[in-house]
Amino acid sequence: MENIGFVVCARVQSSRIHEKVLQRIKGQYTIEILLDHICQNRYPVVLAIPESKDCDVLEDIALEKGVECYRGEDESPLHRLYKCAEQFGFDYVVRITADDILIDLSLLYNQIKFAMRGEWDKDKRKYVPHDYTYLRRCPEGVAAEVINVDVLKDVIKKVGDKPIEFISYYIKGNYKTKEYFPPREYQSPYRLTMDYPEDLMLLRILFASLPSGFGTLDFLNFLHQHKYFLQINRLPSITIYTCNYNSSKYIVDTMKSVYSQDFEDFEYIIMDDCSSDDSMKTIAEYFTSLPNYYQEKTKIYRNEKNIGLPSCCNKVLEMARGRFIIRVDSDDILEPEALSKMLETIKIEDVQGVLSAYHVVDEFDNIIEVEKKNKLHPACCLLSTWATNEIKYRDGLKYMEGKPFFDEFNKKYEMKFLDKPLWNYRQHSESKTAQKDHPNNDS
């Protein structure tokens, strides 16, 4: 009989919602709601938190609830999860994140049975449990992962001491992975997790509207009957973002091309990397002239100091809400049908990214050539935000930040190339490729 334990991974610090585990819903901390919900189940529960002092409050809450607590590895959830499992002697862990305070135990029990039943191994002549079982065809926020602890150990052997946050990225495709399909009545695209402030707002409304003891199906029935509330935490299909540094001469053309798209279900993030020219004034003046419809889609930020393009990209990825993401550099221009064509291709081809051909233009928008062998350019390609967040851009790269990114992306995911030019790449004296120390230049 396998020893199975629930491990709740939590920390106080969070990027999108300040101290989300200590936010209150009906007088309780969200972490308390989660622990109360799962600590009466048939398996042992452990709260796995960082060693940092700010997490002392979480240990106090766990002790008050009679829940075991493991502390370790501030920066690597993977190592913390494995060492917690090792300390408590678990063979399999049910990994639950603190974002998901509405875990559905009935679904989870069935998922565990499915994982333990496994599949027939003809060499061992017996059924062998799956290494990794996940559940996704249900509301986001009610499911967990069932993971073989030996797999976690093997992954750590491969990555060494490197901090790892996205655990599933290192498991999927490399071990015996299986998806558990829930009953039809549970299959819904609704969001019941707690990742963004809007998610927290919806959860507060639901807790206030439903009697105590409600379950997932009660939530779903309520939202079916009150569809207005679904708009509270609805996510845009696409996040478009521009990292700007001293491009006041071209940034408005870039912005205009974004607002001219024939696909409008997007958010637009502009991150100014402490420009020393009048970029911010230019952006502000043009933004002020926009209709409210486009202003509401747009968020503008400015860094206190210059951190470089790769770090800017990572910063935006932390806040991006779209299912897909596209970077449009501050001197590039999208064709009006760019988003719709790329998104259509992703859905039809069932891929996680789309690159396209592009026009190379001069600073006056005259076409120099058409590039139809684009395989590595990180700008103006549409990518799965989830996949991109697992890889991220490598901080500190001045040029060619796309190559290491796509090397990693292509190992795990599928991409499609469109030979129709869907954007304009502007070459000018200030562009990166014009600099003498760019790798593509001989001198």
The verdict on 251 and 179 lying in the same domain is no
Q: What integer is the mean pLDDT of 189-205?
A: 94
Residue 401 lies in a domain: yes
Rounded Cα–Cα distance for residues 128 and 121 (Å)? 6
H-helix or E-strand containing 154?
helix 149-159
Judge if 181 and 308 occupy the same domain. Answer: no
Q: Residue 440: its pLDDT value, please?
A: 41
On the question of pLDDT at 390 being above 90, the answer is no
Residue 437 has pLDDT above 50, yes or no: no
* Number of other residues whose CB lies within 10 A of the CB of residue 348: 9
The mean pLDDT value for 62-91 works out to: 96
Per-residue pLDDT band at 436 (split at 50, 70, 90): very low
Q: Are residues 264 and 412 in the same domain?
A: yes
Q: Tell whether 137 and 267 lie within a shared domain.
A: no
Q: Is residue 211 part of a domain?
A: no
User: Do 392 and 271 lie in a common domain?
Assistant: yes
Note the pTM of the prediction, 2 decimals.
0.82
**Please, are residues 129 and 92 in contact by the beta-carbon 8 Å criterion?**
yes
> Which of 127, 153, 187 is the last residue in one of the domains?
187
Average pLDDT over residues 410-423: 91
Report pLDDT for 438. Answer: 40
Q: Which residue has the tokens 């690597």?
A: 76
- Say if residue 401's pLDDT is above 70: no
Nearest to 49 by CA among 39, 33, 63: 63
Last residue of one domain, picked from the residues 187, 215, 250: 187
- Residues 29-57: what's their mean pLDDT? 95
Distance CA 33, CA 10 (A): 13
pLDDT single digits (tens) 161-190 = 988 888 887 888 789 999 999 999 999 989
Domain assignment present for residue 286? The answer is yes
Distance CA 135, CA 127 (A): 21
Asked whether the predicted pLDDT for residue 20 surpasses 90, the reply is: yes
Same domain, 249 and 164: no
pLDDT higher than 70, residue 28: yes
Residues in the chain: 443
* Structure tokens given for 213: 């003891």
Q: Give the whole-number percent of the chain exceeding pLDDT 90.
A: 75
Q: Domain count of the chain?
A: 2
Query: Does the residue 416 lie in any domain?
Result: yes
The amino acid occupying position 219 is F
Same domain, 325 and 263: yes
User: Which amino acid is residue 90, in one-letter code?
Assistant: F
Give the model's pLDDT for residue 172.
81
Side-chain half-sphere CA neighbours of 429 within 13 A = 1
The per-residue pLDDT for 124 is: 81
Q: Using the predicted structure, report yes or no on whether residue 147 has a pLDDT greater than 80.
A: yes
The amino acid at residue 247 is: S
Residue 88: helix, strand or coil by DSSP?
helix
Stretch 50-54: mean pLDDT, rounded? 96
Question: For residue 49, what is the domain's CATH number?
Answer: 3.90.550.10
Q: What is the mean pLDDT of residues 239-268?
A: 97
**Poorest-pLDDT segment among 229-233, 401-405, 406-410:** 401-405
348-369 pLDDT, tens digit per residue, is 999 999 999 999 999 888 999 9
399 in a domain, yes or no?
Answer: yes
Are 385 and 362 in contact by the 8 Å Cβ rule? The answer is no
Which of 172, 187, 202 lies at the terminal end of a domain, its last residue? 187
Tell which residue, 167, 7, 34, has the closest CA to residue 89.
Answer: 7
What is the per-residue pLDDT across 93-142, written as a single tens digit (0 to 9) for each?
999 999 999 999 999 999 999 999 999 888 888 889 999 999 989 999 99
Mean of the per-residue pLDDT values of the chain:
91
Helical packing angle, 279-289 and 251-259, nearest 10°: 30
Residue with tokens 């305070």: 101
Residue 427 forms part of a structural domain: yes
Domain extent, residue 14, equals 4-187
* DSSP codes of every residue in 229-255: GGGTSPPPSEEEEEEESS-TTTHHHHH
Residue percentage of the chain with pLDDT more than 70:
94
Residues 253, 174 share a domain: no
Assign 342 to helix, strand or coil.
helix
For the ranges 13-27, 130-144, 237-251, 418-432, which has the lowest average pLDDT?
418-432
Residue 443 scores a pLDDT above 50: no
- With bands split at pLDDT 50, 70 and 90, how would you rate the model's confidence at 430? low
My answer on whether 427 and 284 are in the same domain is yes
Average pLDDT of 2-25? 95
Closest CA to 10 of 59, 63, 43, 64: 59
Share in percent of the chain as helix, strand, coil (round to 5): 35, 20, 40
Please say whether the beta carbons of 303 and 271 come within 8 A.
yes
Q: Residue 285: CB partners within 8 Å, gap ≥ 6?
A: none
Q: Are 259 and 174 part of one and the same domain?
A: no
Answer yes or no: is 221 within a domain: no
Does residue 218 fall inside a structural domain? Answer: no
Q: Does the structure show a pLDDT above 60 at 395? A: no
145-148 and 92-97 strand pairing = antiparallel
Closest CA to 331 of 236, 255, 407, 275: 255
Give residue 117's pLDDT.
Answer: 94
For residues 16-43, average pLDDT: 94
Mean pLDDT lowest among 21-35, 103-117, 202-216, 390-404: 390-404
Residue-level pLDDT at 69: 97
Residues 27 and 164 in one domain: yes
- Within this chain, do residues 264 and 323 fall inside the same structural domain, yes or no? yes
